[in-house]
Structure 1
Amino acid sequence: MAEAPPRREPVLVRHLARIVDVALAVLTLVFFVTVALATGVQSPWRAVIPLGLLLGALLLVRRRRPMAVLLLSIGGIFVYRLTGHWSPAGWIWPAAVAYFTAAATPRVRWVAVIGLAQLLYSAADIRHVLDSNPTRFLFHVAGEGLLLAVLIAAGLSYAAAMRWRERLRETDSRARAAEERLRVSHEVHDIIAHTLAVVGVQLNVAADTLQEDPAAAAAALRLAKDVRNRAMTDLRSLLTTLRDTAPQPDLASLGTLIADARAAGLEVTLDEHGDAAAVPAAPAVALYRVVQESLANTLKHAQASKAEVTIGYQPHSITVVITDNGRGALGGAEVTEGHGLAGMRERVSALGGALTAGPNSGGGFAVRADIPVAGSAA
């Protein structure tokens, strides 16, 4: 079944995110240059400002390419240091926002590895002060390590908070959908009850006046017909709403369907061929319903002990065959198509496919459906 399209954030949220990114970019540039000038760095246009501009500009795309932004930021810092320029802000801080952003992604382990490698290089870079000032060396390495740990922990916490918020949003959405389905079911009940009551009264009137007053009987029947037509229109509208809000089964649910049939005492085998991953939503639901109704009919009517479900996934169509070892049609009698078979046929025909059902040549009953998938809506 096709995946749902990614959820888009509201326009206001996207604008605020851009404002935050621009603000972080400006703060990174300003703070880096300010610290450099305050510590006596001369000629900031030679290296300090270009590095600050690079670090700030990269933050403008940090949400789309977090790992690339982190690696390019670290690369810029390395080039700056390896060309003989001193960084008063250390090795980790200039890329702090990049570290935080990348740590909030599933690649947080790589972020930790990259940070550790940068820390080791930072310690090696300042090793010349180890003999003369070990306290400075210790504070430098410990401070950089603590900052890295805080950034990674903050990124992990932010990602966990976002996942929790998304779960709350999904739970709220499911609750609203359930409430809507409950509301629709109540309305369906009310419509049916009202319609049956009115139609019943008018039919009684028609029956009582048919001989004595045919005109009154005809008027009663017309009123019953009008009520029935209005009710059908309302029901179609409500059922469309109910269908849109109800969760639809997909091919991953076939296993549960087979397990339920086995639990009911039917020995079912499932044989699938081809790639089911590319099947769009509408054919997937139709396939599921065909298998579901066929197994239900087998359990209710066929007196079968075994059933086989064979599904072939082709690039442009799906073929599903359900057979059982039940009694089939007694005495070779013509198959009576009830609501279940009719519903399956209508569902498959609506997609441009075909369904056949009848006694199997080797005994039992067989249902075969050919469902096209080319051009189906995903």
Structure 2
Amino acid sequence: MAEPPSRRVPAPVRHLAWIADITLAVLTLVFFVAVALATGVRNPWDGTIPLALLLGALLLVRRRWPMTVLLLSIGGIFAYHLTGHWPPAGWIWPAAVAYFTASTTPRVRWVAAIGLAQLAYSAVDARWIVDRNLTRYLIHVVGEGLLLAILIAAGLTYAAAMRWRERLRETDSRARAAEERLRVSHEVHDVIAHTLAVVGVQLNVAADALEEDPAAAAAALRLAKDVRNRAMADLRSLIAVLRDGPGDTAAQPDLASLGALISEARAAGLEVTLDEHGDPAAVPAIPAIAVYRVVQESIANTLKHADARKAEVTINYAPRSVTVEITDDGRSVPAGAEVIEGHGLAGMRERVSALGGVLTAGPVPGGFAVRADIPVAGSTA
């Protein structure tokens, strides 16, 4: 009746479980012998101590073979009785820990059946008490039955609590996985949107200059190819996050990559200026990636939708926050009209909000502006 081995648990948990089992084994040994002596046993080495040693030793393997431990414990108690010894103070309690442990398994019905059989035997075996003291007999039988019910109920409750805790861990794990997938989807959108914007502009340049200026067309195609290659590397890095082996995951672009981003935008025909104030090295990794993605998505939107000639990127690195603002001179939203947010703006807003920041986007005199205030105090790299 060996139970299937349980799933591997961390070493500290196993050590604590082993200490608990040793403690229960010692308490069983001491308590059984103490009760036997208190109930009139004169020679504890004649059966009492050997049985106590057996019951205690079995508890050391109760987690691995709970049903086997229960049956051997009951068998030892019966053997003790058949040799002419009366079980000290009852039949159920010497195997209390074994009953509890077995009740945490799916075989709880067998545990109840075994307990009822032992309880019935106890009631029959103690029938001689009826003629002498009926109250004592009832206390004996009812007490044994109540103890059995408490042990089984405690085992069921413990097993239910462990299942509930496992479900909570699984739910938390699924929630973290969903958050990670959402983050990766934002990253993929940002990479693809920026790449398509820059590549699209370069392809238009190449198409217009193909006949009149082949060299300019070739340069535009080379730039488009370089941007495409970097985007593919970013996408491979992001997809690697979803795999089991994170060893191949490359670092995500951050503030150090802003220069390359601005250069790509300038090569695409957009006059971009970058104005930074403060120390970017003091910004932790997660807010730094968010700043980069806000700039990247804003420039991509400018290239795709704004028909702009100029853009200004201003970043202020303060001790407790980073403020990034991107303005362009492209087509402005008519006064009073609502700004329709696509996936790009919505993704930026979610990214910034997840860090406790605020993002605003809307028309300004002469163009359009995106501003993000991202806190960095207490962030971890």
Same fold (TM over 0.5): yes
| Greater Rg by CA | 2
SS of corresponding position for 1:232: helix
C-alpha displacement of 1:218: 2.2
- 2:203–2:224 Cα contact (<8 Å) kept: yes
Counterpart residue number, 2:70: 70
What residue number does 2:9 align with? 9
Assess, with a 3 A threshold, how the Cα gap between structure 1 residues 38 and 132 changes in structure 2: closer, same or farther: closer
Once residues 104 and 61 of structure 1 are traced to their aligned partners in structure 2, the CA distance between those partners, rounded to angstroms, is: 15
Whether 1:235 aligns to 2:219 is no
Q: Distance in 2 between matches of 1:113 and 1:149?
A: 12
In structure 1, give the amino acid aligned to 2:174. R
Letter paired with 1:129: I
3-state SS of paired residue (2:62): coil
- 5+ residue gaps, structure 2: 246-381
Residue 141 of structure 1 corresponds to 141
Partners of 2:226 and 2:11 lie apart in 1 by: 47
Quick one: structure 1 residues 186 and 111, their matched pair in 2 at CA, closer, same or farther if it must change by over 3 Å? same
Amino acid across the alignment from 1:114: I
Aligned residue identity for 1:238? L
5+ residue gaps in structure 1?
Answer: 246-378
CA RMSD in angstroms comes to: 2.0
Secondary structure of the corresponding residue to residue 132 of structure 2: coil
What is the Cα deviation at residue 197 of structure 1? 1.1
Q: Which amino acid aligns with 2:206?
A: A
Match for 2:145: what amino acid?
G
Letter in 2 for 1:33: V
Q: For residues 84-103 of structure 1, what are the structure 2 equivalents within 5 Å?
A: 84-103=84-103
TM-superposition CA deviations, 1:68-107 (whole Å, max 9, x none)? 0000000000001111112223110000000001111111
Matching residue of 1:47? 47
Deviation at 1:186, TM superposition (A): 1.0
Q: Which residue of 1 aligns with 2:217?
A: 217
52 and 6 in structure 1: CA distance in 2 versus 1, 3 angstrom threshold:
closer
Q: Structure 2-normalised TM-score?
A: 0.60
In 1, distance between residues paired with 2:231 and 2:102? 57
Asked whether the equivalents of residues 32 and 89 of structure 1 are also in contact (C-alpha less than 8 Å), the reply is no
* CA–CA distance in structure 2, aligned partners of residues 89 and 211 of structure 1: 106
Verify the 8 A CA contact 2:6 2:64 in the aligned structure 1: no
Higher alpha-carbon deviation: 65-74 or 29-38 = 29-38
Q: Give the letter for the 1:84 counterpart.
A: G
What CA distance in whole angstroms lies between the structure 1 residues aligned with 2:157 and 2:170?
20
SS at match of 1:43: coil
Do the aligned partners of residues 55 and 7 (structure 1) sit closer, same or farther apart at CA in structure 2, a change above 3 Å counting? closer
The offset of 1:14, in angstroms, is: 1.6
By relative contact order (CA 8 Å, sep 6+), the higher-ranking structure is 1
2:36 is matched with: 36
| Match in the other structure for 2:124 | 124
**TM-score with structure 1 length normalisation?**
0.60
Report the CA distance between 1:62 and its aligned residue. 0.8
Distance in 2 (alpha carbons) for counterparts of 1:46 and 1:191: 81
* 1:7 to 1:86, Cα distance in 2 relative to 1, 3 A: closer
* Number of positions where the alignment pairs a residue of Structure 1 with one of Structure 2: 241
- CA contact under 8 A between 2:39 and 2:89: conserved in structure 1? no
Identify the residue that residue 167 of structure 1 maps to in structure 2.
167
Task: Measure the CA separation in 2 of the matches of 1:6 and 1:240.
Answer: 32
Structure 1 residue 192, shift from structure 2 partner:
0.4
Structure-2 residue corresponding to 1:157:
157
Matches within 5 A, 1:276-355: none
CA distance in 2, matches of 1:7, 1:59: 20
Match for residue 198 of structure 2? 198
Change (3 A) 1:48 1:7: closer
Comparing 61-70 with 212-221, greater Cα deviation is found at: 212-221
Q: Distance in 1 between matches of 2:189 and 2:106?
A: 48
Q: Which segment drifts farther, 52-61 or 5-14? A: 5-14
1:201 Cα shift? 2.2
C-alpha separation between the residues in 2 aligned to 1:193 and 1:229?
A: 14
1:228 is displaced (CA, Å) by 0.6
In structure 2, what is the Cα distance between the partners aligned to 1:80 and 1:50? 9
- Describe the SS at the equivalent of 2:9: coil
Describe the shift of the 1:170–1:19 C-alpha distance in structure 2 as closer, same or farther (beyond 3 A): same
